[in-house]
Structure 1
Amino acid sequence: MKNLKSIALALVVVLSTTLASAQTKKIDVKTSSIEWLGKKVTGQHNGTVNFKEGAVVFKGKKLVGGSFTVDVASLTATDLSGEYLGKLNGHLKADDFFGTDKFPTATLVIKKIGAKSANVYTATADLTIKGITQPVTFDITVNGNTATTTFNVDRTKYGIKYNSKSFFDTIGDKAIYDEFELKVALKF
């Protein structure tokens, strides 16, 4: 009986220590940023989209996870102004692209993470856009209370096929490339 109590106590101590070592840090949504870049045959557009919420998870100094919600309705171009800005923003928020009336948020949940080098990790995450979840893999660098990453997303995997040469081979110079770039800077 003493051995059973000792084993149970040791198990409680080990579990408590393991659970206590994981620390969740909320991101500062006001100072964290997401910049996007979309390219087409005849040029490109860039802009921003805001975080709604998010958190990173550490065990000691090692990044072990994270989850984020993006306010897709906040999406805006930063390379245009006036009438053209309004037209592009309206089109990007329409059903042809992100359909923000029906899908106002997107999420990213890190499922697997491994150390690549000092302060650099390779993460595999589930990215959900327009209600469709697909895996994405990217490297993320952590320095103190910041983390940065840049990765590409294939919009066609989320049902965004507007002017994609993959689906409309006669589109010519009106083609928009399937992948767009996200440059993310987290502060926590």
Structure 2
Amino acid sequence: MLTLYRPGTGWLHRMPAGPKTVMLLALTLGVFLLPPVWWSAGVAAAASVVAYAAAQLHDGALGMRDLGRQLFALRWILLVMLVSQLLFLGPEPAVANATRVTSGLLLAALLTLTTPTTALLEAVERGLGPLRYVRIDPQRIALLLTITLGTVPVLARIATDVRAAQKARGARANLRTFVVPFLVISLKHADELGEALASRGVR
């Protein structure tokens, strides 16, 4: 599983994984619960900017350089989502929904940027510990959540690789020719991940 963790000394790096996860999940949930209107797009975008600026990532640009890297990596995924919603929902809900989802992905990336995967897995497992009393394995849920967070940068990398391959072949930017190879490679990655988990006894 790909991890984006980068060591640092900012307050978000020093914050325990458990409280940090709860805080960022609460912020993400708040963004997702915004109504699909124009002003919510501005609120969602502002939430991401403020979160990265406050994280003290020390990238030389108040976190905006790291924010830009994450956003650039997600550009093709977001384009597909925006275009599809424009076709079926119209401009206002499409822009609002795309911005809210983008903000959620950026906040998830911020969590993985500042938290080692092992620490994140342990924190989620501890938080879900009481579920053992109702015969639910917290280790499985923690693993699922961690894999989900790790899948975001993987999909972004796949999108970048697909577009780079198209450019190398002289192909013009085209949504239709991008979606098919992106989906094929993504599904292949999902199969390989499932086989790797199965080989380790995860069912």
Give the TM-score of the pair, scaled to structure 2. 0.25
**Which of the pair is proportionally richer in strand?**
1
**Which of the pair is proportionally richer in helix?**
2
The structure that has the greater radius of gyration is: 1
Higher RCO (C-alpha under 8 Å, 6+ residues apart): 2
